[in-house]
Every structure is written in C-alpha cells, then in structure tokens.
C-alpha cells in the first residue's frame, strides 16, 4: 500500500505541474497568486513529503464474481429485448433505471432514429475487438512466447499445440474432428451413439469446451 500511495502521489503532483505549465489551471480571488510558478511550486512542495492515504481493499466476493461482472459487459448488447416495451408510430419505448433516484425503474420513449443512434454508440468501429488476448496468448507473438515457455519448463509441445498455429488450416484426415464453428477450437469426441436400424447408422457428438 505504501508503494501504491507514493506512486499515486508522484503522478498526481507531476500532473498538476504539467497542467500549470500549460496554463490549463485557473485561479480566482485570493488564489490568483498561484498563477506564479514559484508560488505554485511552494504550495506543492510540502505535499511531496506527507504520506498520502490510498484506499484499497479486497473485493467482497471472489474471482468468479469478478469474471461474472466483466462478462455482463463483454457478452451482452447495449439493451436487452426484455427492456423493450413497445414500438409504435416510429417510436420506441423501453425501460431504464434512474440511479439518481436509487435505481427507480422508469420508461422512456424515443424516435426510432434517435434510439438507433444511441444503440450504435455501443457498437465498436470496424477493426476493433471487444475482447483481446494479451501476454502469452496475444496473437502477435503467441507461438514465440509459448515456445519460450516450453523451453524454460523443459516440456514438449502436445499434438493439439502443434496444430494451433493461428491459421485456419483444412483438416485432411477423416479421423480428425472438425473445428468448432463458433470459437474455432479443437473439437473432442465426448459421446458416441450406435444406431438400432442399421449397423452403418452411427452418430457422434463433439464438444470444444
């Protein structure tokens, strides 16, 4: 906590100095003297010596709840169908929560064009991704970093790792299951059913999870 406190103190005071040097801070009445660089520096000087209190604590729940919280923002649309009340005469009526009044549920009616405009504000521009891999699994250096990890850990790559080259390769072997059409992951045989009408009637079920 002390390291975090001092880091925040330094960054905060340096930010104030930059704003002051760029004349982006305004002072009025008795504080006009702080427009002078020396006067402003004298004000900040004792602040560098005092201990700043940074309030931070562990979350109330565990990692699963944090993941669920993030998932609500990364895997949902701007407004769900359940909040739509009606669409009539070129207008859209929907429910919303007014957090200024303790989350009171209200309804709002907008012209269809304005509703679509607000909805599209939540759509990422072309070329942007809502979720991106980083670190070891970033696409830019995934193969290189994973190979380095295997070298340091003295382990060999598995067959599935060798197949995961980041490109869409066509599977030529008839024994290999097809890739998942949703995530592109390697499908695994989880269950097999034999037909009762013919010995040639045979089905298989795959899963990528």
206 within a domain of the structure (yes/no) = yes
Neighbours of 20 (CB within 10 A): 19
Question: How many CB atoms within 10 Å of residue 92?
Answer: 21
pLDDT band at 2 (very low <50, low <70, confident <90, very high): confident
**Residue 73 and residue 96 share a domain:** yes
Q: What's the pLDDT at 171?
A: 39
Q: Which of 22-26, 106-110, 145-149 has the lowest mean pLDDT?
A: 145-149
More confident residue, 125 or 73: 125
pLDDT, greater one: 22 or 206: 22
pLDDT digits (tens, 9 = 90+) for 187-204: 777 766 665 544 444 445
- Residue 68's pLDDT band (boundaries 50, 70, 90)? confident
Q: For the full predicted model, state whether its pTM sits above 0.85.
A: no
Asked whether residue 152 falls in the same domain as residue 185, the answer is no
Q: What is the mean pLDDT of the chain?
A: 80
Q: What pLDDT does residue 167 have? A: 44
193 in a structural domain: yes
Percent of the chain residues past pLDDT 90, beyond the cut: 33
Domain span at residue 82 reads 63-120
25 assigned to some structural domain: yes
Q: Judge whether residue 31 has pLDDT over 80.
A: yes
Q: Is residue 115 exposed (0-12), middle (13-18) or buried (19+ Cβ within 10 Å)?
A: buried
| Tens-digit pLDDT profile for residues 72-95 | 777 778 898 999 999 999 999 999
126 found inside a domain: no
Q: Residue 52 CB: number of other CB atoms within 10 A?
A: 16
Instruction: Give the pair of three-digit tokens for residue 159.
Output: 């067959």
Residue 186 DSSP code:
B
The predicted pLDDT at position 25 comes to 92
Considering only residues 190 and 207, tell me which one the structure prediction assigns the higher pLDDT. Answer: 190
Using CA atoms, how far apart are residues 183 and 178, in angstroms rounded to an integer? 12
Q: Are residues 87 and 106 both part of a single domain?
A: yes
Q: Are residues 72 and 103 in the same domain?
A: yes
Instruction: Give how many domains the chain has, as a whole number.
Output: 4
Query: Are 158 and 181 contained in the same domain?
Result: no
Which tens digit of pLDDT belongs to each residue from 133-147? 777 778 778 888 888
Is residue 56 assigned to a domain?
Answer: no
């Amino acid at each position: 906590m002390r390291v975090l406190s001092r880091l925040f103190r330094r960054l905060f005071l340096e930010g104030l100095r930059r704003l002051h040097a760029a004349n982006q801070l305004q002072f009025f009445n008795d504080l006009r003297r702080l427009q002078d660089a020396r006067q402003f520096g004298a004000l900040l000087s004792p602040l560098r010596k005092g201990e700043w209190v940074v309030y931070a604590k562990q979350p109330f729940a565990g990692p699963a709840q944090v993941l669920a919280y993030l998932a609500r923002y990364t895997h949902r649309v701007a407004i769900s169908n359940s909040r739509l009340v009606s669409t009539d005469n070129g207008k859209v009526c929907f429910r919303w929560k007014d957090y200024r009044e303790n989350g009171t549920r209200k309804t709002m009616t907008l012209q269809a064009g304005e509703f679509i405009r607000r909805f599209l504000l939540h759509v990422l521009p072309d070329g942007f991704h809502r979720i991106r891999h980083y670190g070891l699994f970033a696409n830019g250096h995934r193969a290189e970093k994973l190979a380095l990890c295997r070298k340091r850990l003295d382990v060999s790559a598995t067959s599935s790792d060798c197949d995961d080259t980041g490109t869409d390769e066509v599977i030529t072997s008839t024994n290999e299951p097809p890739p998942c059409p949703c995530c592109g992951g390697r499908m695994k045989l989880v269950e097999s059913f034999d037909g009762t009408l013919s010995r040639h009637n045979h089905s298989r079920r795959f899963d990528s999870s």
